Structure 1
Amino acid sequence: MTEPSIIFSFFIIFSGAAVLSTLALMFRQPMLIAYIGLGILVGPFSLDLIPNTKMLDDVSEIGIIFLLFLLGLDMQPSSLLHTLKKTTTVALISSTLFAGLGFSLALMFGFSFTESIITGLCMMFSSTIIGIKLLPTTVLHHKHTGELMVGILLLQDIIAIMVLVGIGGIEQGTSDWLSYFYLIVAFPLLIGISWIGVRFIILPLFMKFDRFQEYIFLCAIGWCLGLAELAEVFNLSYEVGAFIAGISLASSPISQFIAISLKPLRDFFLVLFFFTLGANYDVEFIQLIYWQAALLAIAVLVIKPIVFRLLLNKLSERNSLSWDVGFRLGQISEFSLVIVLIAGSSALISAKSASFIQTAAIITFAVSSYIVMMYFPNPIAVKEELRRD
């Protein structure tokens, strides 16, 4: 069978997504589920209309990069530091509790000790994409809820990077202490490079050619992807580099113009991300692990909001705000799927264990998105009174 062209692949993805999204909205379901469902339906493990998703995997990651870049654009450095100080305890305690939950349940379901550890690591994090995409822009930019969520998610992302570094070291057969040291050095180095680049190169160019909107747009994308690539060279991640690139421009008067310009581009690539998530899901093991995955997903969906509510209450946050943040962060993260991929390639977990984690993650994506869309303010709410862009 010949490989389908990129045009055919995009036709299947976006036309199919339009059809399934229409059905999803008619039945009051979140559109994210339509994208994942389409990937499962036409991917290599079902109808096989798009047998090779490797290229789409690489392209879809750009959506996450742009998401983190736009997130950084809305975070003033002083505000970010204040938020991180406040949320560090919440992020560390919650991540530890969620890791224990995942480890205990996986061990109880008969998975090996190593597979249970990987499961616990995957339970530590919440989805940056779902958390931020379902947060109204006005809340993200100006409200305390947005600041708390960004602080918790950013700290989780840093922990996730450390986990990925550790698993990468196991894959290479090293203890990888040097990689952790390198990580500690590389992070402030990247911040320093971004500050120098913006002050002496980017902002002077913006001021000189501010009448040319297309030039501003191109420079912003180049700066985002350039710092993302540099972060990858430093053994960090594309996402961390993009976030720092955004923060470095946040104080610029042109930051909001950049954010508005890049929003449609971000949405385009995020459709690809969720599609490839579904397309890479192997349905072969679902009969073997469906009930264990369902129980793990239920545990996450119930316990995560409660833990976040209790921890945020300890910070003297209101009950309503604590529940809001808790439910918005009440799912497994896309970082967990990356951990599964690396652990699988390192033979640390079996295909059955990988499917167990992936299934639980997809269930939490679906149910958590539905809960937020139906009961909390968000940009794609079916109820008019909850719709906030």
Structure 2
Amino acid sequence: MNPEIFTELSIILLITLVITGIIKILRQPAIIGYIISGIFAGPFVFNIISSHDTLYAFSQIGVALLLFLVGLNLNPKVIKDVGKISLVAGLGQVIFTTTIGFFIIRYFGFDNVTSLYMAIALAFSSTIIIMKLLSDKHDLETLYGKISIGFLIVQDFIAIFILLVISTLNSTGEVLSFTIGTILKGLGSLSILFLLTIYILPSLTNKIAKSQEYLLLFSITWCFIIASAFNYLNFSIEAGALLAGITLSMSPYHFEISSRLRPLRDFFLILFFIILGSEMVFSNVIQNLPAIIILSLFVLIGNPLIVMIIMGTLGYTKRNGFLCGLTVAQISEFSLILITLGISVGHLDKEVLSVVTKIGLITFAGSTYLIIYSNKIYSKISKYLQIFERKGSKVDEHKYHENDDHDIILFGYNRIGLDIMESLRKIKKKFLIIDYDPEIINRLSKEGYDCRYGDANDSELLNELNFSKAKMIISTIPLVETNLLIINKIKETNKKTIISVVAHEIEDAELLYEQGATYVIMPHFLGGQHFSTMIERNKLKMNKFLEEKIKHLEHLNKRKRINSRPLHHHR
């Protein structure tokens, strides 16, 4: 490597390290730090990027690897696993955001093609940011977390389709004519990839996977060869990288490939965002400021409202609609890649990329704080969100009478709730199930269980429930704020009631005990205690553990049948 390039890259990475460190202290996504670092390294501040072509080539490798890994994790089988709500919400949000966004952008004087590109860019949400924030909040297993992940998967499939469409554009930005030759060329390429995926790759990867280093080398080579082949056929490198990943997504080694390639992808992708920041144009910032502000507000407020309307129409609570809505309150890495591709095919100029990047910075930062403090925000504005909760829906058919007496009230029919419900049936106690998933409530009602659709955070619901005769209240909801609300309400009406709640952290359990919980269930610790009991009971006898295995598999299959909802896919 040229020593000057090496020195230049070292300085750029040092700037990025410092700025991203500050950004992390502010609890913001690292992508903001990368883009700001590019602004500092670019001509607007220090102007230290002289080897632009080399760094740009590195950044394009990052984009190709990103799309390769996206394809690698988009197993074609998962489309049936996202569920009706994720499919409808994902498609609906993209369609409505694109349509409304298009007219807003046209109002600011952008032409039709530019408006369409920008509107589509505003419709996608950041998978990386949302996954990180939900994981930090331990919300990946909640209903809204599963739904959000589901429509992110739907968005990924839409993005793939759009990228493939863009790959039919030539360097002048004109759409290639769909002659017989063009159609045959595309179908032929896909057919060859399909045949390779079915008949060649499985046996080939089985042999290559004996060496992890060789598997890594093969994966990178496969990505580059397929991407180059598609580029040669006048399709885009990005589309080729995506399809290369999809062809390996059925491989049993795709997790191993993904984990080994991720650090490499991250490094080159950092350079992509740095280059993106360095190319931002500030000469027309005052002129474009109204558009940037309005479009940022549209993403931060408009996108959540669209999702809330869709989910309310489908019968979900205002809380779930609100929390899901916040997960689409930012644009995506795909948005920036889409605009970059639009520039490469001659449809857009670099000023558009600058505008969209500024919108990205605002929405990345704003949505992060919205999601971090979502529960506090909801508690403040929940009374104004009633319009987003449809009354008279199918879930409201399960009427609950205030005078109904139940020995036990169970909040949350999830993994723990299912086991608890089975035990309650065995002891023949009358119990009521409260859950905020309308599909679960409909299923339980059909099976003859006393149940009610509602959110434990809803004070109106807690006021309507008859706690005075209840001997036990069980909450499987792992949110401290929710459980404290339940505990305080029960203490007001019946101090003799046994109160059992769930917590994941020791500090949370201690707080719940202090506030009046009778017993705090900690699933992780209970799992360890159960296995310890198995060791003491079975010693080291293989046949005993195999018997436990058979019982466990039977239990898992039973749960799978009972809880066969299509919202359990994780990327």
* Normalised TM-score (structure 1): 0.77
Does structure 2 conserve the Cα–Cα contact (< 8 Å) formed by 1:344 and 1:350?
A: yes
Q: Which runs of 5+ in 1 are unaligned?
A: 377-383
Does structure 2 conserve the Cα–Cα contact (< 8 Å) formed by 1:125 and 1:160?
A: no
Tell me the distance in 1 between the aligned counterparts of 2:273 and 2:366.
15
Tell me the distance in 2 between the aligned counterparts of 1:170 and 1:239.
14
Report the Cα offset of residue 259 of structure 1: 2.7
More displaced 10-residue stretch of structure 1: 94-103 or 323-332:
323-332
What do residues 262-307 of structure 1 show as CA deviations (whole Å, max 9, x unaligned)?
Answer: 2322222222122122111112111221232111111112111222
Report the Cα offset of residue 342 of structure 1: 5.4
Residue of structure 1 in register with 2:172 after alignment:
171
Residue of structure 2 in register with 1:108 after alignment:
107
Tell me the distance in 2 between the aligned counterparts of 1:316 and 1:64.
39
Tell me the distance in 2 between the aligned counterparts of 1:170 and 1:187.
22
Does structure 2 conserve the Cα–Cα contact (< 8 Å) formed by 1:297 and 1:360?
A: yes
Does structure 1 conserve the Cα–Cα contact (< 8 Å) formed by 2:304 and 2:325?
A: yes
Tell me the distance in 1 between the aligned counterparts of 2:6 and 2:93.
44
Amino acid at match of 1:152: Q
Amino acid at match of 1:15: L
Report the Cα offset of residue 36 of structure 1: 0.8
Residue of structure 1 in register with 2:56 after alignment:
57
1:195 aligns with 2:198: yes
Report the Cα offset of residue 154 of structure 1: 2.0
Amino acid at match of 1:194: T
Report the Cα offset of residue 322 of structure 1: 5.1
Q: 1:51 to 1:320 in 2, by over 3 A?
A: farther
Q: What SS class does the counterpart of residue 283 from structure 2 fall into?
A: helix
Report the Cα offset of residue 37 of structure 1: 0.6
More displaced 10-residue stretch of structure 1: 318-327 or 291-300:
318-327
Q: 1:38 to 1:244 in 2, by over 3 A?
A: same
Tell me the distance in 2 between the aligned counterparts of 1:97 and 1:352.
25
What do residues 334-360 of structure 1 show as CA deviations (whole Å, max 9, x unaligned)?
Answer: 444455445557775566555433432
Q: 1:312 to 1:69 in 2, by over 3 A?
A: farther
Q: What SS class does the counterpart of residue 284 from structure 1 fall into?
A: coil
Does structure 2 conserve the Cα–Cα contact (< 8 Å) formed by 1:312 and 1:322?
A: yes
More displaced 10-residue stretch of structure 1: 112-121 or 295-304:
112-121
More displaced 10-residue stretch of structure 1: 365-374 or 301-310:
365-374
Residue of structure 1 in register with 2:543 after alignment:
none
Q: What SS class does the counterpart of residue 273 from structure 1 fall into?
A: helix
Q: Which has the higher strand share?
A: 2
Residue of structure 1 in register with 2:33 after alignment:
34
Does structure 1 conserve the Cα–Cα contact (< 8 Å) formed by 2:208 and 2:214?
A: no
Q: What SS class does the counterpart of residue 110 from structure 2 fall into?
A: coil
Residue of structure 1 in register with 2:364 after alignment:
365
Tell me the distance in 1 between the aligned counterparts of 2:337 and 2:78.
30
Tell me the distance in 1 between the aligned counterparts of 2:163 and 2:307.
18
What do residues 66-92 of structure 1 show as CA deviations (whole Å, max 9, x unaligned)?
Answer: 334434444544234444987554444
Q: Which has the higher contact order (CA 8 A, sep 6+)?
A: 1
Residue of structure 1 in register with 2:473 after alignment:
none
Between structure 1 and structure 2, the one with the greater Rg is 2
Residue of structure 1 in register with 2:481 after alignment:
none
Q: 1:370 to 1:78 in 2, by over 3 A?
A: same
Residue of structure 2 in register with 1:328 after alignment:
327
Amino acid at match of 2:267: F
Q: 1:65 to 1:118 in 2, by over 3 A?
A: closer
1:291 aligns with 2:290: yes
Q: Which has the higher helix share?
A: 1
When the two chains are superposed, the root-mean-square deviation of aligned CA atoms in Å is 3.9
Residue of structure 2 in register with 1:381 after alignment:
none
Q: 1:113 to 1:314 in 2, by over 3 A?
A: same
Residue of structure 1 in register with 2:207 after alignment:
204
- In percent, how many aligned pairs have the same letter? 28
Amino acid at match of 2:158: L
Q: 1:104 to 1:77 in 2, by over 3 A?
A: closer
Residue of structure 1 in register with 2:158 after alignment:
155
Q: What SS class does the counterpart of residue 43 from structure 2 fall into?
A: coil
1:12 aligns with 2:11: yes
Instruction: Report how many aligned residue pairs link the two structures.
Output: 370
Tell me the distance in 2 between the aligned counterparts of 1:85 and 1:188.
30
Tell me the distance in 1 between the aligned counterparts of 2:164 and 2:63.
15
Tell me the distance in 1 between the aligned counterparts of 2:171 and 2:286.
31
Does structure 1 conserve the Cα–Cα contact (< 8 Å) formed by 2:160 and 2:242?
A: no
Does structure 2 conserve the Cα–Cα contact (< 8 Å) formed by 1:300 and 1:331?
A: yes
Residue of structure 1 in register with 2:229 after alignment:
230
Amino acid at match of 2:151: L
Tell me the distance in 2 between the aligned counterparts of 1:213 and 1:347.
41
Tell me the distance in 1 between the aligned counterparts of 2:37 and 2:247.
37
Amino acid at match of 1:202: T
Does structure 2 conserve the Cα–Cα contact (< 8 Å) formed by 1:305 and 1:330?
A: yes
Does structure 2 conserve the Cα–Cα contact (< 8 Å) formed by 1:289 and 1:352?
A: no
More displaced 10-residue stretch of structure 1: 193-202 or 142-151:
142-151
More displaced 10-residue stretch of structure 1: 311-320 or 14-23:
311-320
Does structure 1 conserve the Cα–Cα contact (< 8 Å) formed by 2:38 and 2:276?
A: yes
Alignment of 1:134-149 (within 5 A): 136=135, 139=140, 145-149=148-152
Residue of structure 2 in register with 1:379 after alignment:
none
Tell me the distance in 1 between the aligned counterparts of 2:230 and 2:258.
21
Does structure 2 conserve the Cα–Cα contact (< 8 Å) formed by 1:68 and 1:239?
A: yes
